[in-house]
Amino acid sequence: MDTRTFLAMSFLAGIGAVPVAGQSARPLTMAGRSTVYAPRGVIATSQPLASGAGLAVLQRGGNAIDAAVTAAAVLNVTEPMMTGIGGDMFALVWSAKEHRLLGLNGSGHSGTQATRETLVKRGRTTMPVLGAESITVPGALAGWADLLQKYGTITLAEALEPAIRIAEEGFPVTPVIAGDWNDAIKVLESDPGARSLYLVDGQRAPSAGEWFRNPELAGTFRAIAKDGIKALYGGAIGQRIVSHLQSMGGFLSVEDFAKHHSDWVTPISVPFKGYRLYEIPPSGQGIAALEMLRILESYDLKAMGHNTPVYLHHLIEAKKLAFADLERFVGDPAYMKTPAAHLLSDGFISARRAKLNEAKAVARPEPGPALTASETIYLTATDQYGNMVSFINSLAGAFGSGVVVPGTGFALQNRGAGFTMDEGVPNTFGPNKRPFHTIIPAFVTRMDGTQEEPWLSYGVMGGAMQPQGHVQVLLNLLVFGMDLQAAVDAPRFRHLSGNRVALEAPFTDAVRQALGMMGHEVIELPASSAGGAQAIMKLKRGWAAGSDPRKDGMAVGH
């Protein structure tokens, strides 16, 4: 770097909090709560009833996996636009008994009848984002069952009990969820089943504090509790779904449901400052967080200063490079020609880092040599036995495809929108393929002598926000030494596309102007688009937990 560039960068690094004359008043922080500390076990979710249900499991002696699945089922009831058995899930599980980390890929495939040629004949030029054509096999329920079978101590029927009760009796809707519900009215209006189930009098979303019941979902959960997951995967519920979707031009068959299975996978990781960040391997975007971290590891981020223009610029540009590689190389691993290990190798990372312009924003970097919206819940749980689970479940878009099969009580995901119509890449739409996935749980270990120990289970929900959110929260902890809740609260950026980057309100006008001078197009980032984080950290004794004030949820322990 030449002297002129170095001086300019030093100037920009120093104006992180300098007020500008006449600038509008901005909140100084996103903070709203304290870190939760607990001696035995903790659960952090995006909705209080889910956190409470999970905590009750822990208090009865259940483990973290039991609590996570129980909470996930409750969230299907209380946060229906984000999650449920109509979607997919992934998890990273630290088994204290085995002293190892495992990953579970609970995502479904496209239908056997799904072909790009069919969409072309129907006049599609881009992937459908709503309706039956966007629906892939929902893998969440099978994933819940697989987690419990391998590491749980309760049955799936027991895990569903709190959700059945809440769905049957009803609950008061919480404020953030009420807002998300209201934002999805047009999606719900487009489908008779969705309109009937989720809109009050078929016209409006429930308001904050208003009571909502879902007896149809309670009935579906009762059928699953009685007959097991086969009720969905080939049984009566699955058959009803297939019949309805085929009448709408969908691609799924009963056989597609019946042959579905989850996969236990080996997590991928990179080291950083004595710690190691783990992600689920492709077809998810977790590899982008790892690539970002590797690109950034050679810079003195602490000297740049937290959330200064120079610091933000480096993170934003690293994100662009990683996402260019995502689009080009990542999809169903069975169709990837460039292995994940190559994208994280020293040579590849060095070449990518060399493309990072330290003084100027680059709108569209090319991928190195040889994406989608997401409405999601993330939760994490730990227990008195030392187990930890990082868990994510999603419908993709708000209420997914917008399709609710009458009588089922849940929305079906539009994860097929994650495919591309472009030919010749791993993520091209086709039969029996897992689409590119945005939902990613994260886990961090630390070295204790020669042994790797669990340290942090966390995630940041929100589509393409997730990898950049993972990196921002982790750097808050490892580079700037923040308290766990402070690391969650800290204001975030979200790179969108080209040079467009959104900043949360606490970023000063000075920071925004400096980024503009570097070529970034800065816009406002509402809290609803900044991602919702949950996190639990293992202490020498006990646990620390944080829950995002941008959501309705909370961390609770015992």
Closest among 118, 135, 130, 113 to 421, alpha carbons compared: 118
Tokens of 500: 């467009």
Counting DSSP H helices and E strands in the chain, the numbers are: 20, 21
- Which is more confident, 227 or 20? 227
- At 73, the pLDDT band (50, 70, 90 cuts) reads very high
Please provide the size of the chain in residues: 558
Q: Are strands 263-265 and 100-106 parallel, antiparallel or unpaired?
A: antiparallel
Is 7's pLDDT higher than 70?
no
Q: 104 forms bridges with which residues in the sheet?
A: 91, 264
The predicted pLDDT at position 402 comes to 97
- At 13, the pLDDT band (50, 70, 90 cuts) reads very low
Quick check: 182 and 205 in contact, CB under 8 A? yes
Region of 267 please: left (phi>0), alpha (psi -120 to 50) or beta: beta
- At 447, the pLDDT band (50, 70, 90 cuts) reads confident
Rounded to the nearest integer, the mean pLDDT of the chain is: 91
3-state secondary structure labels for all residues of 358-405: CCCCCCCCCCCCCCCCCEEEEEEEECCCCCEEEEEEEEECCCCCCEEC
- At 335, the pLDDT band (50, 70, 90 cuts) reads confident
Q: Are strands 88-95 and 100-106 parallel, antiparallel or unpaired?
A: antiparallel
Q: What percent of the chain has pLDDT over 70?
A: 92
Write out pLDDT tens, residues 260-271: 999 999 999 999
The predicted pLDDT at position 182 comes to 97
Angstrom distances, CA of residue 501 to CA of 26, 28, 320, 496, 520: 18, 20, 11, 6, 7
Is 483's pLDDT higher than 90?
yes
SS3 content of the chain, % helix, strand, coil (to 5): 40, 20, 40
Query: What is the rounded average pLDDT of the residues 329-353?
Result: 83
Q: Which residues contact 1 (CB under 8 A, 6 or more apart)?
A: 9, 358
HSE value, Cβ hemisphere, 13 Å, CA-based, for 168: 11
Q: Which of 11-15, 313-317, 466-470, 537-541 has the lowest mean pLDDT?
A: 11-15
Write out pLDDT tens, residues 24-37: 566 766 766 899 99
Is 8's pLDDT higher than 80?
no
Delimiting residues of CATH 3.60.20.40 domain(s) in the chain: 265-272+284-373+440-557
CA-CA distance, 181 to 375, in Å (whole number)? 11
Query: What is the rounded average pLDDT of the residues 177-182?
Result: 96
The predicted pLDDT at position 25 comes to 63
Region of 170 please: left (phi>0), alpha (psi -120 to 50) or beta: left
Q: Which residues contact 515 (CB under 8 A, 6 or more apart)?
A: 309, 312, 313, 361, 501, 503, 522
The predicted pLDDT at position 372 comes to 54
Q: Which of 131-145, 251-265, 345-359, 424-438 has the lowest mean pLDDT?
A: 424-438
The predicted pLDDT at position 6 comes to 41
* Amino acid letter, residue 227: D
Is 63's pLDDT higher than 70?
yes
Write out pLDDT tens, residues 120-165: 999 999 999 999 999 999 999 999 999 999 999 999 999 999 999 9
CA-CA distance, 140 to 128, in Å (whole number)? 22
The predicted pLDDT at position 181 comes to 97
Provide the terminal-to-terminal Cα distance of the chain, rounded to the nearest Å.
52
- Which is more confident, 379 or 425? 379
Q: Is 165 exposed, middle or buried (0-12, 13-18, 19+ CB in 10 A)?
A: middle
Quick check: 421 and 127 in contact, CB under 8 A? yes
The predicted pLDDT at position 5 comes to 46
What backbone torsions phi and psi does residue 69 show, to the nearest 5 degrees?
Answer: -65, -40
HSE value, Cβ hemisphere, 13 Å, CA-based, for 387: 27
The predicted pLDDT at position 275 comes to 97
The predicted pLDDT at position 367 comes to 59
- Residue identified by tokens 């002297």 is 3
Q: Which of 37-46, 123-132, 469-478 has the lowest mean pLDDT?
A: 123-132
Write out pLDDT tens, residues 492-514: 999 998 999 999 999 999 999 99
The predicted pLDDT at position 526 comes to 92
Sheet holding 451-461: strands in order across? 36-38, 543-547, 532-538, 451-461, 442-448, 275-279, 268-272
CA-CA distance, 23 to 509, in Å (whole number)? 7
- Determine which one of 78, 220, 376, 420 is catalytic: 376
Tokens of 491: 């204001």
Query: What is the rounded average pLDDT of the residues 73-83?
Result: 97
Q: Which of 26-35, 98-107, 247-256 has the lowest mean pLDDT?
A: 26-35
Q: Is 243 exposed, middle or buried (0-12, 13-18, 19+ CB in 10 A)?
A: exposed
The predicted pLDDT at position 15 comes to 46
CA-CA distance, 390 to 325, in Å (whole number)? 25
Q: Which CATH number fits domain 265-272+284-373+440-557: 3.40.50.150, 3.10.129.10, 3.60.20.40, 3.40.190.10?
A: 3.60.20.40
The predicted pLDDT at position 450 comes to 84
For residue 376, indicate whether it is catalytic.
yes
Three-state DSSP class for 221? helix
- At 336, the pLDDT band (50, 70, 90 cuts) reads confident
Q: Give DSSP secondary structure letters for 54-93.
A: HHHHHHTT--HHHHHHHHHHHHHHHSTTT-STTSEEEEEE
Write out pLDDT tens, residues 187-239: 999 999 999 999 999 999 999 999 999 999 999 999 999 999 999 999 999 99
Tokens of 378: 């993330």
The predicted pLDDT at position 29 comes to 66
The predicted pLDDT at position 205 comes to 98
Query: What is the rounded average pLDDT of the residues 370-393?
Result: 85
Q: 544 forms bridges with which residues in the sheet?
A: 37, 537
